[in-house]
Amino acid sequence: MNDFNHTVSTDPGRVVVAVEGELDMHTSVEFKQVLMDLVADDTDLLVDLSGLTFVDSSGLSAFIAVHKSTLNHERASLLLDRVPPFLNRILAVTGLAAVLPIAGAQANS
């Protein structure tokens, strides 16, 4: 099993979820549920990805599902922040950079 950790903290007006490690088929199900529970509470989420070292398709799917879920809630939102270069490339190649809300997306293009 791969190492993956997340911490949840409160920032004025939003909840910050910081991740560390590998987001893959072994870790993405539980992480997705954490985010979905926060969205269900109409939470503005900022996901700090600076500690992410790997992501596979199941990790990307988790972000997509959470983003779609925010569209069904009045006040919930998702913002990916501090996206590592390897993930910026994946998001660009897959077209997800145009779908998922990414902090400073213009600067990362």
pLDDT category at 2 given cuts 50, 70, 90 is low
Average pLDDT over residues 71-92: 96
At 82 the pLDDT is 98
CATH code, 64: 3.30.750.24
Average pLDDT over residues 59-84: 96
Quote the number of domains for the chain.
Answer: 1
- Across 47-84, b (16+ Cβ under 10 Å) vs e yields bbbeebeebeebbbebbeebbebbeeeeebbbbbbbbe
Residue-number span of the structural domain to which 42 is assigned = 4-108
